[in-house]
Amino acid sequence: MNSQHFSEEALRTFTNTIFLKMGCSVEHAELASDVLIRSDLRGIDSHGVARLSGYVRLWEKNRINTKPDIRIVHETASTATLDGDSGLGLVIAPFAMKIAIEKAEKCGSGWIAVRNSNHFGIAAYHALMAVEKMMIGFAMTNASPLVAPTYSNERLLGTNPMCYAFPAGKYPPVIVDMATSSAANGKLEIAQRSGRPVPEGWIQDSEGISSVDPHELKKGGALLPLGSDKDHGSHKGFGLGATVDILSAVLSGANYGPWVPPFVAFLEPPSDPVGRGIGHFLGAMRIDGFRPVDEFKFHMDNWIERFKSAKPISKDQKVVIPGEPELAAEIYRQQNGIPLADAVITDLYKLAEKLGVEKPMASM
Amino acid sequence: MNSQHFSEEALRTFTNTIFLKMGCSVEHAELASDVLIRSDLRGIDSHGVARLSGYVRLWEKNRINTKPDIRIVHETASTATLDGDSGLGLVIAPFAMKIAIEKAEKCGSGWIAVRNSNHFGIAAYHALMAVEKMMIGFAMTNASPLVAPTYSNERLLGTNPMCYAFPAGKYPPVIVDMATSSAANGKLEIAQRSGRPVPEGWIQDSEGISSVDPHELKKGGALLPLGSDKDHGSHKGFGLGATVDILSAVLSGANYGPWVPPFVAFLEPPSDPVGRGIGHFLGAMRIDGFRPVDEFKFHMDNWIERFKSAKPISKDQKVVIPGEPELAAEIYRQQNGIPLADAVITDLYKLAEKLGVEKPMASM
């Protein structure tokens, strides 16, 4: 698979121009671009500019409202439900997180359920907004159904990611950002492009039998919950995916389970919705709502040092602190540019042509 | 493995008498007994009266204070940190949950970090206290280190369970209550008693190599995080276990990672503690802090119905809603008594003799 490198700035400018073309305000276009570019910087290639044409196609089908009236529909001092008015999740989720942070500033914590939204990009972007304010950040979202519950061969849950982000002292934040399926869809896409078989335990075929064919989903197969099978705790992965679905959608009034509208524009949303759009759940808790910040920082640093220095099985591979690989990618790509696969570049060029904007230039 | 059945009442009376003998107040003894018996009723045999002699041994070593001064040491409107004064976690966690519920009543949600505690029994007991008030309940705790992080052969995390409990309408609550390891320690204990090999992916030996020997932990082996290996997402299980550890202990001022004091009295706690006792994290969020209760109930019921009716892989095994098996056990055992393995009965009889109290009588 060939690739070329693009500077962060070139992709940011291009993405911003596309969102402006879609009718976003200057503020919204910049924010949405920042979420996508941050994903590419952090090495989560599946959630960055590779998705840009997907958002455009949803907008063309009138499934994304680029001038949303995002509003609180229900609230208490520490909780609220937000209606995203079919806007970009890339814009709605940071808006929700701002409210969570404001509530946390006032009463220790803030929790926002969001309905009537769309794909919100990487969960870590939103959770990290809280970390910058010396708070613990939480972000989760439901998503198009691709995952089968344990014992079923029906796709009823999305890969429903959950993210917990913790500030530290001298070390970078600890960021647990994970799909609740055995493998994220992005990993499956990489295997599809390479044509290589995937490990047993990622997917099952339409009959519910374990498969290593990365194209199984197109034939009625499903991703498996974290744990892969009952013996290894797939009921736990199912439980985590269910938790994300309920907090994001049953609590907010969004669609849940098989009613979640698909991200891909060529599939129509179910004709019998049980709510509005897709749902998210975001939260922020002030560290000093529990403990003086200095004490917390000291012990987070100690926690990180202890786990980093854990006895390794092989001397070539130390224990990885959650969030380390993404931070390493971010530092590297800020300096060296963002590699895009040829298929993604072609996609962006087509988009440039269709919307009449300048193509991004590869930097090397 | 032979067993005999005991009535709920017989075990409750016996357990209560033991806690009174340990010096607990009448109120604390009843509460602690209720947590243990509820675990036996719900089929979580590893966390019920089978642990009673373990609590007694810790008390004999002065590691459990049966007259604790449980107090709030830090708080905001929606958050607090509690010091359990080395008391029984069985008493401290419900105390914390009461405060979480009170805070939620006032400002939508309540979040309590707990330090200086001991083993709190089953997480679901505490989370369900919130469900009874039409709130979502959260409960987690760290525990003695038995689990190795991905890439390490050092035991640095407990099986660190997390529980999310959601009220429903006409259906019982949905309760996700899970160890963040591939298999709970209780399951390993069952395999140890039967002498049967465990599935690959539950444990590794002291070198970090996958093993099926259920006795591997005694030889320096470790339980594996949910996901079992890197290819199947064990870094996610590690991330979840880390999340529980940080919320329960780094946030509260308890011991974390390898510093968590062991539950078993024959192992001394580390001589260089980084905090006080073990830690928990509990929370409650009012449903009507987000959405009218009737709407939530309607959609929870719809969610449950849709997942219960998911297409099964085999017609003999329907999808299991999280919490269903434990509820079925509870109904069955309330009517038919609680089966105890002979080893547990012997243990209780010895305890009765040692503390000079009447033995519980088997009911059939």
| CB-based contact B4:B360 (threshold 8 Å) | no
CA pair distance A52, A359, nearest whole angstrom:
14
3-state secondary structure at position A81: strand
pLDDT in tens, B237-289: 999 999 999 999 999 999 999 999 999 999 999 999 999 999 999 999 999 99
Nearest Cα of chain B lies from the Cα of A76 at a distance, in angstroms, of 5
Tokens of B260: 């968590």
Task: Give the residue from chain A lying closest to B235, CA to CA.
Answer: A322
Nearest Cα of chain A lies from the Cα of B146 at a distance, in angstroms, of 14
Smallest Cβ–Cβ distance between B236 and the set A226, A290, A303 belongs to: A226
Q: What angle do CA B356, B357, B360 make, to 5 degrees?
A: 140
- Contact: B291, A252; criterion CB under 8 Å: yes
3-state secondary structure at position A305: helix
Helix or strand holding residue A13 (H, E) = helix A8-21
3-state secondary structure at position A269: coil
Smallest Cβ–Cβ distance between B320 and the set A151, A285, A302 belongs to: A151
Q: Which residues of B touch A166 (CB under 8 A)?
A: 246, 250
* Most A-contacting residue of B78, B230, B311, B320 (CB-CB within 10 A), to test interface: B78
| Side-chain half-sphere exposure of A46, counting CA atoms within 13 A | 15
Q: Could you count the other beta carbons within 10 Å of the beta carbon of residue B205?
A: 16
Smallest Cβ–Cβ distance between B300 and the set A174, A202, A250 belongs to: A250
pLDDT at residue number B364: 61
Q: Which residues of B touch A76 (CB under 8 A)?
A: 107-109, 286, 289
CA pair distance A64, A51, nearest whole angstrom:
14
pLDDT classification of B1: cutoffs 50, 70, 90: low
A vs B, Cβ pairs < 8 A, gives: 272
pLDDT lower than 50: segments of chain A: none
- Contact: B77, A108; criterion CB under 8 Å: yes
The answer for residues whose C-beta is within 8 angstroms of residue B9's C-beta and 6 or more apart is: none
Task: Give the residue from chain A lying closest to B149, CA to CA.
Answer: A319
Task: Give the residue from chain B lying closest to A312, CA to CA.
Answer: B152
What's the N-to-C CA distance of chain B in angstroms?
17
Nearest Cα of chain A lies from the Cα of B167 at a distance, in angstroms, of 11
In this structure, CATH architecture of domain A1-67+337-364: Orthogonal Bundle (1.10)
The answer for residues whose C-beta is within 8 angstroms of residue A98's C-beta and 6 or more apart is: A129
CA pair distance B350, A88, nearest whole angstrom:
65
Nearest Cα of chain A lies from the Cα of B76 at a distance, in angstroms, of 5
B70-182+224-308 maps to which CATH number? Answer: 3.30.1370.60
Q: Which residues of B touch A161 (CB under 8 A)?
A: none
Q: Which residue has 């949405």 as its token pair?
A: A32
pLDDT in tens, A184-242: 888 888 888 888 999 999 999 999 999 999 999 999 999 999 999 999 999 999 999 99
Written as one letter, the residue type at A268 is E
Q: Which of B179, B25, B43 is nearest to B91 (CA)?
A: B25
Nearest Cα of chain A lies from the Cα of B4 at a distance, in angstroms, of 28
- Contact: B290, A79; criterion CB under 8 Å: yes
pLDDT at residue number A194: 83
Q: Which of A72, A68, A79 is nearest to A103 (CA)?
A: A79
Smallest Cβ–Cβ distance between A156 and the set B79, B238, B310 belongs to: B310
Q: Could you count the other beta carbons within 10 Å of the beta carbon of residue A78?
A: 32
Nearest Cα of chain B lies from the Cα of A208 at a distance, in angstroms, of 6
Q: Which residue has 């344990």 as its token pair?
A: A150
Q: Which residue has 């990365």 as its token pair?
A: A214
pLDDT classification of B323: cutoffs 50, 70, 90: very high
pLDDT at residue B185 tops 90: no
| CB-based contact B345:B62 (threshold 8 Å) | no
Smallest Cβ–Cβ distance between B201 and the set A179, A232, A237 belongs to: A232
- Mean per-residue pLDDT, B168-176: 98
pLDDT at residue number A2: 79
Q: What is the DSSP letter of A249?
A: I
pLDDT at residue number B189: 84
What's the N-to-C CA distance of chain A in angstroms?
17
Task: Give the residue from chain A lying closest to B72, CA to CA.
Answer: A290
> Strand B174-178 and strand B162-166: pairing?
antiparallel
What residues does A174 pair with on adjacent strands? A166
Q: Could you count the other beta carbons within 10 Å of the beta carbon of residue B347?
A: 18
- Contact: A75, B319; criterion CB under 8 Å: no
> Strand A109-117 and strand A79-83: pairing?
parallel
Q: Which residues of A touch B322 (CB under 8 A)?
A: 235, 238-239, 242
Q: Which residues of A touch B150 (CB under 8 A)?
A: 319-320
- Contact: A176, B307; criterion CB under 8 Å: no
pLDDT at residue number A1: 62
- Contact: B253, A286; criterion CB under 8 Å: no
Fold of B1-67+323-364: Hypothetical Oxidoreductase Yiak; Chain: A, domain 1 (1.10.1530)
Smallest Cβ–Cβ distance between A235 and the set B151, B242, B320 belongs to: B320
Q: Where are the domains of chain B?
A: 1-67+323-364, 70-182+224-308
| CB-based contact A78:B289 (threshold 8 Å) | yes
> What is the edge-to-edge ordering of all strands in the sheet holding B222-223?
B210-211, B203-204, B222-223
Task: Give the residue from chain A lying closest to B319, CA to CA.
Answer: A151
Fold of A68-182+224-308: Ribosomal Protein S8; Chain: A, domain 1 (3.30.1370)
3-state secondary structure at position A42: coil
pLDDT at residue number A253: 98
Three-class DSSP labels, chain B = CCEEEECHHHHHHHHHHHHHHCCCCHHHHHHHHHHHHHHHHCCCHHHCHHHHHHHHHHHHCCCCCCCCCCEEEEECCCEEEEECCCCCHHHHHHHHHHHHHHHHHHHCEEEEEEEEECCCCCHHHHHHHHHCCCEEEEEEECCCCCECCCCECCCCECCCCEEEEECCCCCCCEEEEECCECCCHHHHHHHHHHCCCCCCCCEECCCCCEECCCCHHHHCCEECECCCCHHHCHHHHHHHHHHHHHHHHHCCCCCCHHHCCCCCCCCCCCCCCCCCCEEEEEEEEEHHHCCCHHHHHHHHHHHHHHHHCCCECCCCCCCCCCCHHHHHHHHHHHHHCEEEEHHHHHHHHHHHHHHCCCCCCCCC
Q: Which residues of A touch B240 (CB under 8 A)?
A: 176, 178, 240
